Structure 1
């Protein structure tokens, strides 16, 4: 009896499998046409990282390396450096604080896009965009440098290094008690 039951199962198993195939073969296809029709992502989607700026163009990153410590995949590398105050265009100020992130790298070969680095950032310098097309054919191109991650300069922003324009000290920046950026005189190309 047990032998005849197993023979029936061996006979009906492939037919049952093909039954599933034939039932679904003539249904309408529901796949998305991804490269040609891109659907919008959810508002809180975790995509590519971005290093943000203050309204005058200074970087929000203070080089504290908390994001690198919080990363479970060890995908972030940060080297902090001290800001150097100077006169005029000789100023070495990249952020309003004492320090800035001189080197900032994110290795997208290791990153799992979990967002723990975003939660660890004390100045909200690091956020995540909705950009999700991060594939490449070269491994070296998937290690994003600081220049790749920095937010673009908007109108009214000045490329660092420059002096603080929104307040007397970094406290005004961090409290949000700053005024509109003052116009900055630029050097002429002939000088």
Structure 2
């Protein structure tokens, strides 16, 4: 173990060095030499990268039917267990099954993207760019199949809407 000399025991040089760093940052901010990172949200929209994992959505086939085949791979790969699927028999004999109910609990979701990677038919995506997930009730965070397909729109409190509107 290295022994400390007299000046190192006093910590005076380190205190002065810390005070110099603080003073330097203070004057840099006062004189405006630094770029501020404040954004006036929601008046100025925030840039969202195209790879950002936002709210989920389900894709449709060309005929308008849900692309999901209820294979349960997304629900199996989800570490938060937030995807709940109930398979149902399709009336078309060429289609084996389809999701009778498909629900995602956004409060449990950790937005890891494993469900998107596990889906063999590219039925689920997280590329909506929606990051302001807000609601008045916890039940509004259970997204059913019709909302994930885009048939319904959730109440967006971030845009100033209330449930009465």
Q: TM-score, normalised by structure 2?
A: 0.71
Deviation digits for residues 149-170 of structure 1, max 9, x if unmatched? 01349xxxxxxxxxxxxxxxxx
**Hey, which bits of structure 1, 4+ residues long, moved more than 4 A?**
7-16
CA distance 1:10–1:65, shift in 2 (3 Å): same
Aligned to 2:29: 24
> How many residue pairs were aligned?
144
CA distance in 1, matches of 2:75, 2:39: 36
**Mapping for residues 4-153 of structure 1, pairs under 5 Å:** 5-7=10-12, 9-10=14-15, 13-14=18-19, 16-27=21-32, 28-85=35-92, 97-128=95-126, 129-152=128-151
CA distance 1:137–1:12, shift in 2 (3 Å): farther
CA distance 1:4–1:118, shift in 2 (3 Å): closer
CA RMSD after TM alignment: 2.8
CA distance 1:137–1:7, shift in 2 (3 Å): farther
SS at match of 2:25: helix
CA distance 1:19–1:71, shift in 2 (3 Å): same
SS at match of 1:104: strand
CA distance in 2, matches of 1:69, 1:58: 23
CA distance 1:3–1:116, shift in 2 (3 Å): closer
Which segments of 5 or more consecutive residues in structure 1 lack a partner in the other structure?
A: 86-95, 154-191
* 8 Å contact from structure 2 (residues 86, 102) kept in 1: yes
